[in-house]
Structure 1
Amino acid sequence: MGNRLSKIYTRTGDAGETGLADGRRVPKDHPRVEAMGEVDTLNSQLGLLLAEVAEALGHHPGLAEVGEVLAPCQHRLFDLGGELAMPDYLALDAGEIARLESAIDRWNAELGPLRDFILPGGSRLIAQAHVCRSLARTAERRCQQLNAVEPLRPELLAYLNRLSDLLFVAARLIGRRQGCAEVLWQAATAD
């Protein structure tokens, strides 16, 4: 594969517009650019989660599976961003959604049913998984906003939805494998 970027800055975006792969110039707050940005943010935070999972393996080898399942998600998010940047580019398929569903089902079988609302916490890894989960929901909302004006393939929307589900279950699994109790929500009480 050749060089993808020969120059990092082009100065073409200084006036508040950016170019899409199909040649269009759009404002930097265009729904497509917003969606691309949220997917990029999610991918960056997922990279942080994966780095922290890798660091924790020495103390919690049971987390290896979490890294194995989540690592391909970074690549698929890059593919998804590519589809957003190049509307004619098709990268994600239903098989990837099925892979996430399989992991969700497998991990949920280990965890059992959720009986109470839980809060993002208990350990740094659990909280980071929840950060990624919430960012997946934000990316999904931004893609839905784009979908309202420029239809997207259903696989893109389904992938983000399933990824947020996977990250929620991953947070619970990380806690279980770290031996951390779930932080249960406590409703406010009237004085």
Structure 2
Amino acid sequence: MKYIFILTFVFTSLFSNAQEKITVKETFENNRFQWDEFYEKDYSGSIQDGFFVLQNKKDDILVRSIAELPIRIDQNFKITFKFLIPKISNDYAFGIIYNYEDENNYSSFLVSEKKYKIYNRVNGIWSISRQGSIILKAGKNKEVIIKIEKKGNKLIFNVDNMEAISITKKLAFNAFGFQVENANTIKVDEVVIEQLSEE
């Protein structure tokens, strides 16, 4: 009877742990999370053929789309953004937005050829908090995966399954998004959200 009890306990524990991870996927077959869609002369954001297409026709401006995601920011999570980028170079940056309060207050993790930058926008004023090197080569029509992961009080940013940087930051808002800088177009193929239990 002791062995049966132990096996039952182990099975129950494994089952409970499996239940502590919830995964939700946005594939842009529809607008599940209500991403901002817009159509202007110089920029646009819209769902097309299973992608969210963010197009910027002018240099020196940023174009973004935001949505409130169904996660608890006080718990651990991973959000994986899968991009299709027509052109990667030093001239164009793209990436993700997190901790979005409004257009004047948010943070972003942007990448371009061989580098990343973390920006903070506070009361409309930009600052670069971190920057460094990554392995992201120039090219055309490349798939790029950017992941933001929260573990305790740490935020970890990965590009193509390689860690770029880990920072300490407390999140206050569950609105996230994607962004393109300068004249370029990005396509977002999917966004996968994994809500994890506290370790």
Shorter-chain TM-score: what band? under 0.3
> Counting helix residues as a fraction of each chain, which structure ranks higher?
1
| TM-score, normalization by structure 2 | 0.23
